[in-house]
Amino acid sequence: MVSEPQTPRRERERLRHRREILDAARRVLSARGVEAFTIEHVAKEAEFAIGSIYRHFASKEELIDMIAADLSEPLFAEAEALAASDLPFEQQLERLVRATLATLADDLPLIRAFGAGSGSERLAPIRARYFEAFDAIVKNGQREGVIPKGARAAKVVALMGLVAGFAKWRTFDALPKRFDAVPTIVGVWLGGVATATKRPRKGR
């Protein structure tokens, strides 16, 4: 039996340090927000020299982007598994919405990181994968005949917008934090946006 090659010790240490920095940065982002987030605060929280932080991340902006990428990975893996499952479309949809809300609503650093880095090219693959996760499940709905065919991209964007809007209630202290938004999101989307068809313009 041939054993797999072991990761060199130096690489294991590099990955461990990177993990410790990301974990510390996540705590700083959660506690201070994007505006007060600095490499100095991350270095203090991680108990690293500032120069050590810069050996792993070129800038504060890159570090924030990598927080978003790191925290979103489990959600994408779950969404992709759902889309490939044998569950009926409506169950896939409900579980996707619930998983996304749980990730975003319970993880304020992720919302802040996405918001801060929304225009960054480093996040382009993350934004694409986020869209593709929803798109795969909406495509299943069209395949099953639950969702009318056509304009799938618009339907996906509308669904993502509903989910994002409800997730952001965490950032408004006056709004209730504990209620089940999933039935509302799924009901509104299935009952309205997902079934909408292109209407002719007036005068035509």
pLDDT above 70 covers a percentage of the chain that reads 80
- Would you state the pLDDT for residue 203? 46
CA angle 105, 122, 94 (to 5 degrees): 30
Lowest-confidence range among 87-101, 145-159, 167-181? 167-181
Mean pLDDT value across residues 163-185: 72
In the chain, CATH 1.10.357.10 covers 66-195
| pLDDT (tens digit per residue) in 110-132 | 666 666 655 567 778 888 888 99
What's the CATH architecture for 66-195? Orthogonal Bundle (1.10)
User: What Cα–Cα distance (Å) separates residue 108 from each residue in 28, 31, 55, 119, 173?
Assistant: 11, 10, 27, 19, 13
CA pair distance 49, 40, nearest whole angstrom: 9
Query: What is the tally of helices (H) and strands (E) in the chain?
Result: 9, 0
Mean pLDDT lowest among 53-62, 74-83, 110-119, 161-170: 110-119
Torsion of CA 10, 27, 75, 55, to 10 degrees: -30
- What is the second-level CATH architecture of the domain 8-57? Orthogonal Bundle (1.10)
Condensed to tens digits (0 to 9), the pLDDT of residues 13-46 reads: 988 999 999 999 988 988 887 788 899 999 999 9
Average pLDDT, the chain: 82
Please list the residue range(s) of the chain that carry CATH number 1.10.10.60. Answer: 8-57
